[in-house]
Amino acid sequence: MTIWDRMPSKETLLKELPGNNTGIPKVNAHMHTPYSFSAFNNIPQALNMAVEEGVSVVGINDFYSTDGYEEWANECLKRNLFPLFNIEFISLNKEDQANSIRVNDPKNPGRTYLSGKGLAFPQNLREPYLSQLLDVKRESNLYVAKMCGKINEILQSIGAGFELSYQEIELTLTRGNVRERHLARALREKVSREFPGADEQKAFYGKLFGEGKEFKSPLNDCAAVENEIRGSLLKAGGAAFVPENPKAFLEMEAVRQVILKAGGIPTYPFLADDATGNFTNFEEDLGKATEILKARGIYSAEFIPSRNSPEVLEKYAGYLYNAGFIVTFGSEHNTPAMEPITLYARNKTQLSERLMEINYKGASVIAAHQYLYATEGEGYVDEDGKPCMETRGQYEKLGDALIRQVIKKAPSNPARGKN
């Protein structure tokens, strides 16, 4: 029995909405888990935090992986949370690359992050799309393995007396999807064991990073140490940097097709404004970007609000919603830093009621899409990714009923429903 088998029929849901449907349920539609890389030690930790903070709708959103879906679904339902089933890719648009257009990777022209929202659960991706997904995941792991080898060469050259084991990292720190952040974590843990003294550790990091690179992070801030390792050693200019293999990136349209064949909704993650108020080439003209996304068969967008000013979020999210897009927000949690599940704009600014509403309506469409894809074989977008925009309101209503069907049994929580 799947979670969809436990739901009432569509007709019953729309006829008998739960009585207490006031307030806007809180949503976090983009959370990474240990099935890729995450601040969380495990899925229950993430979902317990969601319950404590009164977040009712939560979306798993791992890189190249749907492996966590079953655990996510089971643990969500134990807590009366509504699950969204998502995925994330890094793709390449060769036309944008040739024209030096930075899309949503500010440093690499043409490289484009794409999410898939509301994938089928249980997942049943068929060939050749399954092989494409597995191949890109394998290439990503091979890239990290090469970087691990480069780290070991450096460790040997400075007489460190130890090395990292890629196999051990894969076995103990991952669920099969190895990211460069796992290397940073493994190295930090190894250094802290080999050099118990603070002065020893700082001296070792200085030696490891190379001449002229002073270690700056507080050693008791694990996230800061791992970020410094990554920035000083593993990124471009660092001694262990390895150029990425083009095979690790599917072309943008190929990713869109994988998402569609997996039952999902192709979604463009906006960077929007950075801390200095700048935008990428692609995103600075919002109207133009919106039309290009539509031409590329993408009618859904998402934001990580903590990156953006409230004013830009209001402008961008509002414009896209009015243009017929699904719009959702999330936190990622794909760095070592532990942040709240509750979403905020930059500088911990609370989201406005309008932004909360847009986010919830987007999650409702995704919820309805998941349900209808599982029960009727087609959801909000057709097999080519084209939505029927004039029915979006109906999907919002059905998704609202589905979500409240699950969360209505949740225990009373004074945080639930507050911004």
Q: How many other CB atoms are there within 10 angstroms of residue 142's CB atom? A: 14
Tens digit of each residue's pLDDT (9 = 90 or more) over 204-229? 999 999 877 789 999 999 999 999 99
pLDDT for res 19: 53
Question: Among 3.40.190.10, 3.20.20.140, 3.40.50.2000, 3.60.130.10, what is the CATH number of 3-13+25-125+262-407?
Answer: 3.20.20.140
Amino acid found at 271 = L
Q: Which among 343, 316, 264, 313 has a CA at the least distance from the CA of 24?
A: 343
- The pLDDT of residue 417 is above 70: no
- The pLDDT of residue 237 is above 50: yes
pLDDT for res 415: 37
- The pLDDT of residue 356 is above 90: yes
pLDDT for res 388: 87
Span 352-380, average pLDDT: 97
Q: Which among 260, 281, 272, 276 has a CA at the least distance from the CA of 303?
A: 272
- The pLDDT of residue 419 is above 50: no
Q: Three-class SS string for the chain? A: CCHHHHCCCHHHHHHCCCCCCCCCCEEEEEECCCCCCCCCCCHHHHHHHHHHCCEEEEEEEEECCCCCHHHHHHHHHHCCCEEEEEEEEEEECHHHHHCCCCCCCCCCCCEEEEEEECCCCCCCCCCCHHHHHHHHHHHHHHHHHHHHHHHHHHHHHCCCCCCCCHHHHHHHHCCCCCCHHHHHHHHHHHHHHHCCCHHHHHHHHHHHHCCCCCCCCCCCCHHHHHHHHHHHHHCCCCCCCCCCCHHHCEEHHHHHHHHHHCCCEEEEEECCCCCCCCCCCCCCCHHHHHHHHHHCCCCEEEECHHHCCHHHHHHHHHHHHHCCCEEEECCECCCCCCCCCCCEEHHHEECCHHHHHHHHHHHHHHHHHHHHHHHHCCCCECCCCCECHHHHHHHHHHHHHHHHHHHCCCCCCCCCCCC
- The pLDDT of residue 1 is above 90: no
Helix axes 43-52, 69-78, angle to 10 degrees: 30
Token digits of residue 143: 């890239």
Tens digit of each residue's pLDDT (9 = 90 or more) over 6-55? 899 998 988 866 555 668 999 999 999 999 999 999 999 999 999 999 99
Q: How many other CB atoms are there within 10 angstroms of residue 304's CB atom? A: 18
Q: Which region among 184-198, 234-248, 316-330 has the lowest average model confidence (pLDDT)?
A: 234-248
- The pLDDT of residue 413 is above 70: no
Tens digit of each residue's pLDDT (9 = 90 or more) over 104-128? 999 889 999 999 999 999 998 999 9
Token digits of residue 52: 């404590």
Q: How many other CB atoms are there within 10 angstroms of residue 410's CB atom? A: 15
Q: Mean of the per-residue pLDDT values for the chain?
A: 93
CA 158 to chain centre: 37
Span 395-410, average pLDDT: 89
**Does the N-terminal peptide bond of residue 34 adopt cis geometry, omega within 30 degrees of 0?**
no
Tens digit of each residue's pLDDT (9 = 90 or more) over 120-170? 999 989 999 999 999 999 999 999 999 999 999 999 999 999 999 999 999
pLDDT for res 414: 36
Task: Indicate the pTM of the whole model.
Answer: 0.91
CA distance linking residue 195 with residue 45, whole number of Å = 30
- The pLDDT of residue 326 is above 50: yes
CA 321 to chain centre: 20
How does 55-85 read in b/e, with b if 16+ C-beta sit within 10 Å? bbbbbbbbbbbbbbbebbbebbeebebbbbb
pLDDT for res 21: 62
Residue 412 pLDDT class (50, 70, 90 cuts): very low
CA distance linking residue 122 with residue 147, whole number of Å = 34
Q: Which among 99, 119, 100 has a CA at the least distance from the CA of 108?
A: 100
Span 332-356, average pLDDT: 95
pLDDT for res 409: 66
Amino acid found at 199 = D
- Overall size of the chain counted in residues: 419
Rg (CA), the chain: 22
Kindly report the CA angle at 403 between 398 and 405, in degrees rounded to 5? 95
Token digits of residue 266: 């192709």
Domain ranges of the chain: 3-13+25-125+262-407, 133-234
